[in-house]
Amino acid sequence: MNYILEGLVQAFRLLARGDPETFSALEATVRSSSLAMLASLVLGLPLGFVLGHGRFRGRRLLRTLVDTCLALPTVLIGLVVYSFLSRRGPLGDWGMLFTLPGLAIGQAILALPVVMALTATAVEGLDRRLGLTLLTLGASRRQLALTTLWEARQGLLAAAVNAYGRVVTEVGIAMMVGGNIKWHTRTVTTAIALETGKGEFAQGIALGIILLGLALLVNLGLIRLRRGATP
């Protein structure tokens, strides 16, 4: 138990003295996860609305595929993205392997099914008469989509929280696509894995506490947004 207490003390020391290696990993985590969340929300919210509100052929099959992707192993996503971004891959000329944007692509793929599935669930939970009423009042398809998403805003915030939780804590994609390069693509999670592998348990616990603090800050921000969105 002593090394757990030592980890707590060391976490505060790392933050208090502004340890550059720790803050480099924290910055890489924030930058890659922010890019990933931006991409997943921009794509996932409208796709989730179509999946939850639309009635089209193959919808059940598509919903099943999206729900299945919720359990995609991160190492599998990392392998696929790595194969596309490597020099021998179709996107090798982009030079995005072992970069934060490349890492963000893999993390966005991880978050996208979460955003889509939970958005679809939130939309499905609304009163079906809402859409009919809006169409009767002459609303356009764009207005229908925006109003429906606004009414489902509590569910959308939950989708964002769950997706961010998966992105910020994953290791497989960060290792394979990011490469765990010090001062460059090393995230907090890969730093934890590295330090623990070296036997530096206190350092690993300290980084874990910092990661937990980051997740807490994000959740507090979303709670404020949720309160502001509540009529």
pLDDT score, position 218: 78
Residue 126: DSSP 8-state: S
Q: Is residue 214 part of a domain?
A: yes
Q: Is residue 177 part of a domain?
A: yes
Residue 92: DSSP 8-state: G
- pLDDT tens digits for range 148-171: 888 888 888 888 888 998 899 899
pLDDT score, position 104: 96
Confidence grade of residue 13 (pLDDT, cut at 50, 70, 90): confident
Q: Is residue 91 part of a domain?
A: yes
Q: Is residue 179 part of a domain?
A: yes
Q: Which domain holds residue 93?
A: 2-226
pLDDT score, position 33: 93
- pLDDT tens digits for range 169-203: 899 999 999 999 989 999 999 999 988 888 777 77
For residue 97, what is the domain's CATH number?
1.10.3720.10
Check whether 119 has a pLDDT greater than 70. yes
Structure tokens at 96: 């995005």
- C-alpha–C-alpha distance, residues 165 and 58, integer Å: 30
Q: Is residue 231 part of a domain?
A: no
pTM, whole model, 2 decimals? 0.87
201 and 71 Cβ atoms separated by less than 8 Å: no
Check whether 123 has a pLDDT greater than 60. yes
Check whether 16 has a pLDDT greater than 70. yes
State the total domains in the chain: 1
- Beta carbons within 10 angstroms of residue 190's beta carbon: 26
Confidence grade of residue 98 (pLDDT, cut at 50, 70, 90): very high
- C-alpha–C-alpha distance, residues 214 and 202, integer Å: 19
Mean of the per-residue pLDDT values of the chain: 86
Q: Is residue 165 part of a domain?
A: yes
Structure tokens at 207: 């980084």
Q: Is residue 62 part of a domain?
A: yes
Q: How far is CA 71 from CA 175, 180, 185, in A?
A: 19, 24, 25
pLDDT score, position 226: 66
How many percent of the chain have pLDDT more than 70? 96
- pLDDT tens digits for range 129-150: 777 777 777 778 788 888 888 8
Confidence grade of residue 205 (pLDDT, cut at 50, 70, 90): confident
The CA-to-CA distance between both ends of the chain, in Å, stands at: 47
Specify the higher pLDDT residue, 206 or 78.
78
